[in-house]
Amino acid sequence: MRTRFVALTLALVLVLGMAFTASAKVTLRHWDWHQPRMNLKLKYMEEYEKLNPDVTFETQVIGWEDYWTRLMSGVAGGDVPDIAQFHNSQTQAFLNHLEAYPADLFDYDRYKEEIINFEAAYLFDGTFHFYPVGIMTGLIFYNTDLWEAAGLTEADIPTTWDEFAVIAKRLTQYDDNGDIQIAGFVPNGILGVFWLDLHYQLGGKLYGEDAKTVDWYNDAGIQALEYIEKLIYEDRVTEMGFLSFSEAMGTGHAGMVYSWSWLGGELNNNYPDLNWAVFRLPTFDGKLAPGPIARNNHETGMSVMKAARPENKRAAFEFLKWLYEETDYLVEVNLILGTAPSNVNLLDDPRITSDPLISAIAEQVPYTNIPGEIPFEVENDYGLGMLEDLIFFGYPAAEALRTAEAEANGVLAERPVKWYVEDLYTPVAE
Amino acid sequence: MSPVERIKAIDAKKRFVMAVLIPTILFFLFFNVIPIFYAFYISFHEMDFLNPPKFVALDNYKALIGDTHLTSSLLVTAKFAVTTVFIGGAFALFFALLINSVKRGQAILRTVYFLPVMTSLVAVGVIWGWLYQPRFGLLNEVLKLFGIPRQMWLSSPTTALPSAIAASIWQGMGYTIVIFLAGLNAIPESYYEAAQVDGANTLQKTWYITLPLLRPTFVYLLITGFITGFQVFDQLYVMKGPLNSTRGFIELLYTRAFSYYQMGRASAMAFLLFAIIVTLTLIQFKIVSRNQVEH
């Protein structure tokens, strides 16, 4: 009887002990859409698990096209990851479902000093919900073999758009029928976005007052678009129906293209034999200040979901604090993504300065602006994307702008922009 | 009788049939019927699955009136459906008659024409996109050999939709050919022999015997062709043309649902399409039910 009682008590203590140990373990679920970035995170997660045996991770990579639908379904169905990789294009939809980074763990005041565009790009009602990682902007990519074959050197890299047009013409090659074989400059597939940067350089903006409308049909907009028209129809450096900018660059049919810096990763992965380099955008007067000379956008970090369990949320933030501020993750992820670190203290890191793509972004970024949210259809089918179609279909610049502006305003009337920060840009002293 | 006794009373064959049917019915109920009713419910709400739904009565349906983007996408879809059914059908009939007239190798020809049907629509769209590339695509290189100036194909708003339709007709024609071949094989040979005796030539046999007796096949292909055509998505999504010249109704619905999270509005669009397809189907039934031809 006594033996049984002791055995029973010991068994109970063992079971309770195991239950206690089991309940102290936290499993953090994480979703991302970018496999290379996830691979980097897995490396750090493994390290974190060794340092914190009570924490384990469950990860999943979901393709970009399905990611937001899955997350939306997860929010609706109560099945969300604790930590979700985020993108600021989804801010309006998901902001109310993201937990604010706690001020006791994350130094808001320091971020205001150290993070580029922190208040404009990250603060909503005084709190931030996704960590600042990197910044992307538009650059000129060029084929160094074609550049050399045309007798050009690094000294010929243009700083004005007039110089740029001359270089583009020099790089263009025609076949015996007079058709373009190698395009000197290919904005095909991204013409509207390229135009917006030129528009900024001439003093224009994306939005009108309070972002209720766009503000494209004006002197600056027309002048910017007429420059592009001249490249196409007078200088003949590209034409309607030519390959898109990424295809043309990758297959060696473009001397130069305009693209955001993500193209670097695509070229390295899909066209490893291509020799390419980048330079910052020229301007109409050759100067960068006061700016803005282009748009930027932030490649944002991870968010903790509001629907995560309370004990998981704290553990998640503690992991993110460690990852972002006590490891080399931020440098390494920016190298993978081809973005310049949002934190100015990292811009001098030798790994960053030795990367020519990120150096070019870092040079340009202080002179770039983030307008806030741009609805999908304003950036594509009924706005900037339409501008390209109109120009290639022969519309004069003014009429193209008027038409595209009207379509974009129609979209905004139905789907107003809530996150608008375009006026927060601070001109840089000359 | 208890429920268990009732089940035991049903003979084994019926029990087997029920055992097979019930999962299918349940699957159909949970993945088709219930979602359709739920979509109908959503269409009366402002809903994005991220916030509580807000009842808006008929606002989502009213918003469809005067929606120019919707009208233009519906026009694109209608042009696609009409062209693929009639022109695609005409080509398919022509090839089916040719294949049917061949004494040996019919099976091989059927397979060759059916191969594109088995190919992924997205893959077809991507490959045709490359064929249509105005500067470096194969089609323009072939035209150049004949001295024909290069065409813009998918790069021009005037030729983009016809180009996408041509690729779709190529991809789907094999299915229509197979259906026509089945219809042709059902026509008794004795009719042609009798016509031969009466001195009818090939054209007369086709016009007075083949076409009238293929009427049921025409009806089937017409109705199913319109139903499928009005739901086109993959081909037009992949083979995009400028100025939204190939933006179909389903693509617009998809964008509103999954890019803008306007589930209520997208659901209303879905039911509008349903109403259009049902109306067209009923009209077709009414027209074709007249002047039936029997063997």
Nearest to A72 among B49, B156, B255 (CB): B49
Q: A interface toward B at CB cutoff 8 Å?
A: 68-69, 72-73, 75-76, 93-94, 96-97, 179-180, 239-243, 253, 375-377, 381-382, 386, 388-390, 392-393, 410, 415
Q: Is the pLDDT of residue A3 over 90?
A: no
- The predicted pLDDT at position A270 comes to 92
Which residues, at least 6 apart from B191, have a Cβ–Cβ distance to it below 8 Å?
B209, B213
Q: Which residues of B touch A389 (CB under 8 A)?
A: 157, 242-243
How far apart, in whole angstroms, are the C-alpha atoms of residue A239 and residue A252?
Answer: 16
How far apart, in whole angstroms, are the C-alpha atoms of residue A415 and residue A399?
Answer: 24
Task: Please report, rounded to a whole number, the percentage of residues in chain B having pLDDT higher than 70.
Answer: 97
Q: Is the pLDDT of residue A390 over 70?
A: yes
Q: Which residues of A touch B59 (CB under 8 A)?
A: none
- The predicted pLDDT at position A310 comes to 87
Please spell the DSSP secondary structure of A261-281, one letter per residue: THHHHHHHHH-TT--EEEEPP
Residues in chain B: 295
What average pLDDT does the segment A174-187 reach?
94
Which residue range(s) make up the domain with B12?
3-42
Summarize pLDDT for A321-352 with one digit per residue, the tens.
999 999 999 999 999 898 999 999 999 999 99
Nearest to A75 among B50, B133, B156 (CB): B50
CB atoms within 10 A of CB A203: 11
Instruction: Say whether both B150 and B30 belong to one domain.
Output: no
Q: B interface toward A at CB cutoff 8 Å?
A: 48-51, 68-69, 133-136, 150, 152-153, 155-157, 242-244, 247, 255, 258-261
Q: Is the pLDDT of residue A20 over 70?
A: no
The answer to whether the Cβ–Cβ distance between B50 and A386 falls below 8 Å is no
- The predicted pLDDT at position A238 comes to 97
Minimal C-alpha gap between B169 and chain A (Å):
23
Instruction: Say whether both B28 and B134 belong to one domain.
Output: no
- Range A2-134+299-356 has CATH code 3.40.50.2300: no
Whether residue B180 lies inside any domain: the answer is yes
User: Phi and psi dihedrals of A132, rounded to 5?
Assistant: -70, 125
Q: How far is CA B50 from CA A85, A92, A97, B54, in A?
A: 17, 11, 8, 12
pLDDT interval class at B7 (50, 70, 90):
low
Instruction: Say whether both B198 and B162 belong to one domain.
Output: yes
Instruction: Say whether both B38 and B65 belong to one domain.
Output: no
3-state SS of B3-35? HHHHHHHCCHHHHHHHHHHHHHHHHHHHHHHHH
Minimal C-alpha gap between A301 and chain B (Å):
21
Q: Which residues of B touch A68 (CB under 8 A)?
A: 258
Q: Is the pLDDT of residue B240 over 60?
A: yes
How far apart, in whole angstroms, are the C-alpha atoms of residue B44 and residue B65?
Answer: 15
Instruction: Say whether both B35 and B161 belong to one domain.
Output: no
Choose the weakest-confidence range: A7-11, A311-315, A417-421, B75-79.
A7-11
- The predicted pLDDT at position A16 comes to 61
Cβ–Cβ under 8 Å, residues A84 and A30? yes
What type of residue sits at position B133?
Answer: Q
Instruction: Say whether both B21 and B147 belong to one domain.
Output: no
What average pLDDT does the segment A287-298 reach?
93
In chain A, domain spans: 2-134+299-356, 137-296+363-424
- The predicted pLDDT at position B138 comes to 96
Instruction: Say whether both B95 and B11 belong to one domain.
Output: no
> What is chain B's mean pLDDT, rounded?
92
Q: Is the pLDDT of residue A268 over 70?
A: yes
Cβ–Cβ under 8 Å, residues A368 and B221? no
Choose the weakest-confidence range: A189-193, A311-315, B259-263.
B259-263
Please give the residue that has the higher pLDDT: either A15 or A288. Answer: A288
pLDDT interval class at A24 (50, 70, 90):
low
- The predicted pLDDT at position A307 comes to 93
Nearest to B155 among A73, A240, A376 (CB): A240
- The domain A137-296+363-424 is placed in CATH, from the list 1.10.357.10, 3.40.190.10, 3.40.50.300, 3.40.50.1820, at 3.40.190.10
Which residues, at least 6 apart from A24, have a Cβ–Cβ distance to it below 8 Å?
A54
Q: Which residues of B touch A69 (CB under 8 A)?
A: 258
| B243 Rama sector, left if φ>0, alpha if ψ -120 to 50, beta otherwise | left
Q: Is the pLDDT of residue B30 over 80?
A: yes
Instruction: Say whether both B23 and B125 belong to one domain.
Output: no
Instruction: Say whether both B31 and B69 belong to one domain.
Output: no
Whether residue B111 lies inside any domain: the answer is yes
CB atoms within 10 A of CB B217: 20
What average pLDDT does the segment B103-124 reach?
92
CA B153 to centroid of chain Cα atoms: 23
Please spell the DSSP secondary structure of B216-267, one letter per residue: HHHHHHHHHHHHHHTT--HHHHHS--GGGTT--HHHHHHHHHHTS--HHHHH
Q: Is the pLDDT of residue B67 over 80?
A: yes
CATH number of the domain residue B81 falls in: 1.10.3720.10
- The predicted pLDDT at position A23 comes to 52
How far apart, in whole angstroms, are the C-alpha atoms of residue A109 and residue A90?
Answer: 26
Q: Is the pLDDT of residue A132 over 90?
A: yes
- Element (DSSP H or E) covering residue B58: none
What average pLDDT does the segment B52-64 reach?
95
Q: Is the pLDDT of residue A22 over 70?
A: no
The answer to whether the Cβ–Cβ distance between B244 and A382 falls below 8 Å is yes
What average pLDDT does the segment B175-198 reach?
92
3-state SS of A187-235? CCCCHHHHHHHHHHHCCCCCECHHHCCECCCCHHHHHHHHHHHHHHHHC
Task: Please report, rounded to a whole number, the percentage of residues in chain A having pLDDT higher than 90.
Answer: 79
Instruction: Say whether both B264 and B160 belong to one domain.
Output: yes
How far apart, in whole angstroms, are the C-alpha atoms of residue B292 and residue A275?
Answer: 69
- The predicted pLDDT at position B285 comes to 87
Instruction: Say whether both B15 and B125 belong to one domain.
Output: no
pLDDT interval class at A293 (50, 70, 90):
very high
Based on the structure, what is the number of domains in chain B? 2
What type of residue sits at position B43?
Answer: S
Q: Which residue of A has its CA nearest to B158?
A: A393
Nearest to B258 among A69, A96, A375 (CB): A69
Residues in chain A: 430
Nearest to B157 among A68, A69, A393 (CB): A393
Q: Which residues of A touch B150 (CB under 8 A)?
A: 179
Q: Would you say the ipTM is above 0.90? A: no
Q: Which residues of A touch B259 (CB under 8 A)?
A: 376-377
What average pLDDT does the segment B274-293 reach?
84
| B244 Rama sector, left if φ>0, alpha if ψ -120 to 50, beta otherwise | left
- The predicted pLDDT at position B291 comes to 58
Q: Is the pLDDT of residue B289 over 80?
A: no
Minimal C-alpha gap between A180 and chain B (Å):
8
A2-134+299-356 shares its CATH topology with A137-296+363-424? yes
Q: Is the pLDDT of residue B101 over 60?
A: yes
What average pLDDT does the segment A362-390 reach?
91
Summarize pLDDT for B143-166 with one digit per residue, the tens.
999 999 999 999 999 999 999 999
